């Protein structure tokens, strides 16, 4: 079962080749996100796929100027490349936003992000959840950059997906979630 392979073998990738993602693949990933469930089927998510290097760099700079030193160091320690960037130098960042007055915006976006990660895996691409923007999306200069990118009024970022051809295949810790079957 292909979907089960993706579910078990997808891993967060934190280093990417400098290679663009094909447009057809990006379209498929975005569609996978859009087809994720949403509470009351409200579908109030916005997916902003950034592929332009200059925009990615501007957003990275905006995040850098808004986060505290501890966050910066923590993210840096997870990056396996010397040339540090909050999005691990991925060629695509999909900002996943939602109307903050929706009934379940966090969950709606989380479902979409996981769909996109699994789709990316199926297409031979790596991916990683990038969380930094979520808590600081209303801070300047980030708010202005997001507005310029088309994020709607009253929306916030609930997570981002870094997507690209992975430069590593590191396995994460074994999964230890508790399972009870009665
Ligand atoms: C809500 C959430 C936020 C996350 N934020 C980040 C992040 O900001 N940066 C990062 O490198 N990974 C982030 N991750 C990825 C987790 O660290 C990763 O899923 C976990 O270590 C398990 O590894 P795996 O994805 O390879 O199974 C996040 C994951 C979730 C679910």
182 residues of the chain, pLDDT tens digit each = 789 999 999 999 999 999 999 999 999 999 999 999 999 999 999 999 999 999 999 999 999 888 888 888 887 787 766 677 899 999 999 999 999 999 999 999 999 999 999 999 999 999 999 999 999 999 999 999 999 999 999 999 999 999 999 976 666 778 899 999 99
Beta carbons within 8 Å of 140's beta carbon, 6+ residues apart: 66
User: Does residue 172 have its Cβ closer than 6 Å to ligand 1?
Assistant: yes
Q: For residue 77, report the distance from its CA to the centre of ligand 1, in Å.
A: 14
- Position 8 scores a pLDDT of 92
What atom of ligand 1 comes closest to residue 14's alpha carbon?
11
SS3 state of residue 164 = strand
| Ordered domains of the chain (ranges, CATH) | 2-164 (3.40.109.10)
The pLDDT value recorded for residue 182 is 95
141 preceded by a cis bond (ω within 30 of 0): yes
Q: Is the CB of 177 under 6 A from ligand 1?
A: no
Q: Is 86 exposed, middle or buried (0-12, 13-18, 19+ CB in 10 A)?
A: buried
Q: Which of 129, 132, 166 to mutate to test the pocket of ligand 1 (most atoms within 8 A of CB)?
A: 129
CB of 72 sitting under 6 A from ligand 1: no
6, 8, 11, 12: residue to mutate for ligand 1 pocket, most atoms within 8 A of CB:
12
- Residue 130, ligand 1, Cβ within 6 A: yes
What is the pLDDT, as a whole number, of residue 77?
80
Q: Is 161 helix (H, G, I), strand (E, B) or coil?
A: strand
- DSSP letter at 167 equals S
Report yes or no on whether pTM surpasses 0.85: yes
Instruction: Output the CA 182–ligand 1 centroid distance in Å.
Output: 30
How many alpha carbons fall within 13 Å on the CB side of residue 144? 6
């Amino acid at each position: 079962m292909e979907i089960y392979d993706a579910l078990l073998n997808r891993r967060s990738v934190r280093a990417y080749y400098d290679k663009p993602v094909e447009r057809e693949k990006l379209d498929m990933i975005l569609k996978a996100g859009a087809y994720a469930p949403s509470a009351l089927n409200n579908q109030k998510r916005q997916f902003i796929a950034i592929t332009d290097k200059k925009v990615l760099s501007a957003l990275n700079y905006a995040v850098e100027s808004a986060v505290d030193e501890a966050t910066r160091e923590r993210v840096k320690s997870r990056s396996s490349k010397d040339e540090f960037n909050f999005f691990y130098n991925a060629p695509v960042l999909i900002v996943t936003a939602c109307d903050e007055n929706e009934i379940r915006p966090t969950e709606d976006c989380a479902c979409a992000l996981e769909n996109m990660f699994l789709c990316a895996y199926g297409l031979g691409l790596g991916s990683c959840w990038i969380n930094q923007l979520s808590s600081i999306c209303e801070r300047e200069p980030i708010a202005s950059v997001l507005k310029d990118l088309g994020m709607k009024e009253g929306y916030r970022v609930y997570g981002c997906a870094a997507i690209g051809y992975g430069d590593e295949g590191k396995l994460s810790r074994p999964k230890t979630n508790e399972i009870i079957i009665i």
